[in-house]
Structure 1
Amino acid sequence: MPPNQGVLTVGAADADTGTSAEIQYSLFGIGVEDFYMDANTGDMKTATVMDREETSSYKLIAQATDGGGLFCRSEVSVTLLDVNDNPPTFFYSQYLANVYENAAPKALLTRLQASDPDEGPNRTVVYSLIDSADGFFSIDPVSGVVVLERALDRETRDSYRIRIQASDRSGLQGALSSQVSYMVGHRSV
């Protein structure tokens, strides 16, 4: 959430008259520096860029003080909702695996892992291959397990590089993704 976004307006009434009835508003508590409260109107706005992954909620105190120094206080709870602002990230920048030449098709080679600090569907990671090295490999979209689809022949080709993508399930907000290289070398039996 950008700065200067309206959050809420607090209000108070005073039965006094004259300057004793003039109310000034203020805000207290941990994280108060992330907000601005207009002393005359009670309008509360964001003062900084807000990021739910850094601070997800605030418990603040709004105070209304009249011209005579009397005051009342009320708790203000602010909860930030998630937006899809973080792509999934792989735990490692590159993955390596060695496969024996006689490994059977459907052999499970390795599991790639990525995480996303967003919430809800924005947090769910889906794995896919950008290329499958001519159909030699597949990946389970949920678990991230790389599977051998066809038998390898070391004499024909001794290594493979495939690119794998991790995307989030963001729905209408637009999927964010990251990519990683996966090197497969194979050994003779």
Structure 2
Amino acid sequence: MQRVPSTITLNVSVSDGVFTSTAQVHIRVERANLHAPQFTQGMYEADLQENAPVGSKVIAIRAQDADPGPFGDVRYVLLSDSARDLFSIDGNGQIKTLERLDREERSEMVLSIAAVDAGGRSGYCSVRVTILDENDNAPQFGASEYHASMRSEVEPGTLVTQVQAWDLDQGANGQVSYSLYSEASMQVTELLDIDPDSGWVRLLDREVQSSYHITVRASDQGVPVRLSSLVNITITVLDINDNPPVFERRDYLATLPEDVAVGTEVVQVYAASKDIGTNADIYYNIRSGNQQGHFTININTGDMHLDYYLRPTFLSTPTMAQNLFIHAYSGQK
């Protein structure tokens, strides 16, 4: 195409056949806006660290317009309404942040950008911004505390309970492992352990006690700093009734005068069990030897009283002795 000069000068003459007049005409050629701005790429890719300070540079983009003069000047416009609150773009195509960005809220954004020349012609591109994870979230347990129970006869190796924690971060920053808190007593760590991957608490050894109290730590694998959370677990041991009561003495002896008053305490028997909890509650009854019903026993305390006036004719042996057999049992009445 032939290049047209910006100014054209014409010499014009006019004549009536006798006289002649001349003049110069200057014509200024206005340039047409023939070209729209063109970006060097249709899609740009940029990575941005999560929580990057306000004003951080994201990427510089560029559009060119082949028109000379004002029609070749380009300005940039962010088209996404939501993006205008988070990013800015200057006359050089440099995109910067206006806020700190949280990857857990949005991990990726696509910005639509226009390049507009002075004649109103425009070109378009997109910028995909990927937010890179920062380890800014500690693992969170599913409960504020855990309660579990196990029977006293369970064997070592038994899985007792499981804890679970989640981390909103990504990759190693969100990978959770479990451990017993370092301040746990040696006694606890010898009896219980926890699988670092699954969070299952396992019995290592069996010891007679009514409950265990442990603290578990959930840690992520963030670099350079690991974040962690703690949770308490209470494990209650459910006793089985496998230890029969044993009397303090095998035989109890009581001596009464024949005119003893009704209601008089005769003797108190006592038995105990190695079980715990309600299985260690002992109850008493008279198994035999009380056919006439002269004696009663307190089911809870083992206190035996005379319940009926005692006469010599009641006594069945020459030694004037009465043998009673007391039964002690544990568990439910």
Partner deviation per Cα, 1:19-78 (whole Å, 9 max, x = no partner):
22221111122631221112x121101111111110011111111111111110001111
Contact 1:10 1:62 (8 Å CA) reproduced? no
Is the counterpart of residue 95 in structure 1 residue 128 in structure 2? no
Q: Which letter maps to 1:128? A: S
Contact 1:127 1:164 (8 Å CA) reproduced? yes
Task: Please say which of residues 86-95 and 20-29 is displaced more in the overlay.
Answer: 20-29
Contact 1:169 1:175 (8 Å CA) reproduced? yes
Aligned pairs (5 A) from 1:155-174: 158-170=210-222, 172-174=223-225
Q: Provide the rounded CA distance (Å) in 1 between the counterparts of 2:192 and 2:208.
A: 14
Contact 1:138 1:148 (8 Å CA) reproduced? yes
Identify if the C-alpha distance between structure 1 residues 21 and 183 changes in structure 2 by more than 3 Å, giving closer, same or farther. Answer: same
Runs (5+) with no aligned partner, structure 2: 1-51, 241-333
Partner deviation per Cα, 1:140-174 (whole Å, 9 max, x = no partner):
001100011111313xxx2221110001112x321
Q: Which letter maps to 1:111? A: Q
Is the counterpart of residue 148 in structure 1 residue 200 in structure 2? no
Is the counterpart of residue 182 in structure 1 residue 233 in structure 2? yes
Deviation of 1:16 after TM superposition, in Å, equals 2.2
Task: Please say which of residues 12-21 and 87-96 is displaced more in the overlay.
Answer: 12-21
Deviation of 1:112 after TM superposition, in Å, equals 0.6
Tell me the residue number matched to 2:24.
none
Tell me the residue number matched to 1:136.
191
Is the counterpart of residue 22 in structure 1 residue 22 in structure 2? no
Q: Percent identity, aligned pairs only?
A: 37
Tell me the residue number matched to 2:106.
55
- Find 2:61's aligned residue among 6, 10, 22: 10
Q: Which letter maps to 1:77? A: R
- Find 2:88's aligned residue among 13, 30, 36: 36
Q: Which letter maps to 2:235? A: V
Tell me the residue number matched to 2:174.
123
Instruction: Give 4+ residue runs of structure 1 displaced > 4 Å after superposition.
Output: none
Deviation of 1:94 after TM superposition, in Å, equals 0.3
Q: Provide the rounded CA distance (Å) in 2 between the counterparts of 1:28 and 1:149.
A: 63
Q: Provide the rounded CA distance (Å) in 2 between the counterparts of 1:54 and 1:90.
A: 20
Q: Provide the rounded CA distance (Å) in 2 between the counterparts of 1:107 and 1:166.
A: 22
Q: Provide the rounded CA distance (Å) in 1 between the counterparts of 2:53 and 2:177.
A: 29
Structure 1 vs Structure 2 CA RMSD? 1.4
Between structure 1 and structure 2, the one with the greater Rg is 2
Is the counterpart of residue 46 in structure 1 residue 97 in structure 2? yes
Deviation of 1:105 after TM superposition, in Å, equals 1.2
Relative contact order (C-alpha < 8 Å, sep 6+): which is higher? 1
Helix, strand or coil: the match of 2:169? coil
